[in-house]
Amino acid sequence: MNIISAISKATQTEDALADVLDGLGVSANTDTHHKDSHSIPSILFVSFCETLNAHEIHKTLKEQLYCPIVGASSCLSPLTTRSQQLDVSLSVLAIFDSEGNYGVGQAIMTEQNDAHQAAATATQQALQKSDRALESPTAIWCMLTPGSEELALEGIKSVIGPHVPVFGGSCADNNIEGHWHVLNDVGAHSNAVVVVTLYPSTPLGLYFSSGYEPTSHRFIASQCHHRTVGRLDGKHAADCYNTATQNSIHQQLKGGNILALSTLNPMGRKVTLPDGIDDFILSHPEAVTEHRELTFFSEIHNGDELILMQGSTPNLIARAKRVIENAISLLPIGRSPAGILMIYCAGCMLALQDNITDMLKELNIAFPALPIMGYYTFGEQGQFSDGVNRHGNLMISAVVLSSSTTSSSTITSTTNSSTLSPMNSQPNL
């Protein structure tokens, strides 16, 4: 297992692509079929700004790197520790794993082909392309356009079963205007699901977290439809939220966007883990309707107990490092991390803004030798230790790939935990 990352700060797509190809040691003047097979990645992960041309990124990388590709747009900038500002336009993470297998599938979502069917189709494609279709993957990585993530997770489960961890995120743009894309080696689309089946030759460390603390305010949701909540404890949802947050949205009670106002006070649903510890899957309030309902970026159902959560700038800065440390601690004893894929909610990043530099500095100090790449997303998918895959908001996750040989850890601090082993059960095909 060898992992290389490369970035560009160029504003033009052609220049950005030239930078990352050069960073990977790939000559754009050499025909793909005549390149040394050892220089071609087993899989390439791509993160890019909405200002770049997703179709050109797909076309060039497909021509220059004859390998599976998965990519998505990220809010303002890709997540990378190669820069301490939100000034990167394109970032790639190349995994070289000759003994592993990786398959990528993609399906477009339409009225006739909803997120459930699209995700199922993409999963079936990824299994076939991995050349290990009759084995359950160690994990699945998923990137998709926002709006129907819960349905997509059900679609993946319908193919692979409920036990394989699913990690990933919803692609993003800069201003929630639909200028987002996902891509693979087949094409780039603004309304699609991309699924990656991961069969690495070395163990993975996976961790999914909220990083917010519960308050004493608890409500029972009713008059719910999809991602809209009409009542909390029988009262207008917006009124209840406004009172609990000390009039934080009083100017929007007749209707309006409250994303920025609610980032530090999302709603959480308690998940009691096998060790008895409670964690929370978060839902980010998006807007107040003219009927004083609340809309969210994830589904809420009648009867759900919603707990008002609270976050802070120091916690948002520190949580990325903690999540990586926790994911690394899930590797077998003696295994070293070789590279990290991260998902960090765009809402949290936007809440930090100038303070994002502090978060990236912390990661650089803690993990100076590790390639780290990721996405600032509009929705996050992952699995707590109870083994259930979920979609949430304002969440963070890390997928740690490990080295092929055991050695001492390259991080400054970790916590001890259990090992995550590859799944051995057969997929539900």
d(CA 382, CA 282): 12
Using a 10 angstrom Cβ sphere, with 0-12 exposed, 13-18 middle and 19 or more buried, the burial of residue 247 is exposed
Mean pLDDT over 2-23 rounds to 97
Question: How would you classify the pairing of strands 380-383 and 305-310?
Answer: unpaired
pLDDT digits (tens, 9 = 90+) for 87-97: 999 999 999 99
Mean pLDDT over 374-391 rounds to 96
Using a 10 angstrom Cβ sphere, with 0-12 exposed, 13-18 middle and 19 or more buried, the burial of residue 400 is buried
> 405 pLDDT band (50/70/90 cuts)?
low
* Percentage of the residues of the chain whose pLDDT score is greater than 90: 86
pLDDT digits (tens, 9 = 90+) for 102-112: 999 999 999 87
What is the DSSP code string of 196-228? EEEE-SS-EEEEEE---EEEEEEEEEEEEETTE
Residue 52 has pLDDT above 60, yes or no: yes
pLDDT digits (tens, 9 = 90+) for 245-302: 999 999 999 999 999 999 999 999 999 999 888 999 999 999 999 999 999 999 999 9
Q: Are residues 161 and 427 in contact, defined by beta-carbon separation less than 8 angstroms?
A: yes
Q: What is the pTM of this model?
A: 0.91
DSSP state for residue 418 in the 8-state scheme: P
> 38 pLDDT band (50/70/90 cuts)?
low
> 28 pLDDT band (50/70/90 cuts)?
low
Residue 417 has pLDDT above 70, yes or no: no
> 213 pLDDT band (50/70/90 cuts)?
very high
303: left (phi over 0), alpha (psi -120 to 50) or beta: left
Residue 33 has pLDDT above 80, yes or no: no
